[in-house]
Amino acid sequence: MGDAFCVDIQGDSMWPTFNHGDRLTFRPHTSGEALRVGDVVVAHHPLKSDVLIVKRIARVVLDRVFLQGDHPDPLASEDSHNFGPVLSRHVVGVWVQPKVT
């Protein structure tokens, strides 16, 4: 996992799964790699090119993913409800779930 990178959660859009300040490890997403519903990903915000967002994939349609925060209040997350589907190539990483020992 030498190419892995970390991202700190900012805000509450992924609560209750992740809290503000949690640090997650992601592996790089490569072009052509399948993305699955339920994957937690980090992606470029489609309307704010300098912003990365951490969201869960709610749906995959061809080369687009619908990203959604985990917060039960839909107004607590800026996601595909606001900006529509995101091109798969905008996904830069997939969360590496910690192994339970």
Averaged pLDDT for residues 44-71: 94
| pTM for the full predicted model | 0.90
Query: CB–CB of 80/66 below 8 Å?
Result: yes
Which pLDDT does position 86 carry in this prediction? 95
If one counts every other C-beta atom within 10 angstroms of the C-beta of residue 50, the result is: 6
Angle at 64 between CA 5 and CA 52, to 5 degrees: 35
**CATH number, span 5-95:** 2.10.109.10
Residue 93 pLDDT: 96
Nearest by Cα to 94 from 72, 63, 67? 67
Which sequence spans correspond to the domains of the chain?
A: 5-95
pLDDT higher than 80, residue 100: no
DSSP β-ladder status, 5-8 and 23-28 = antiparallel
The CA–CA distances, whole Å, from 69 to 1, 3, 27, 72 equal 26, 25, 20, 8
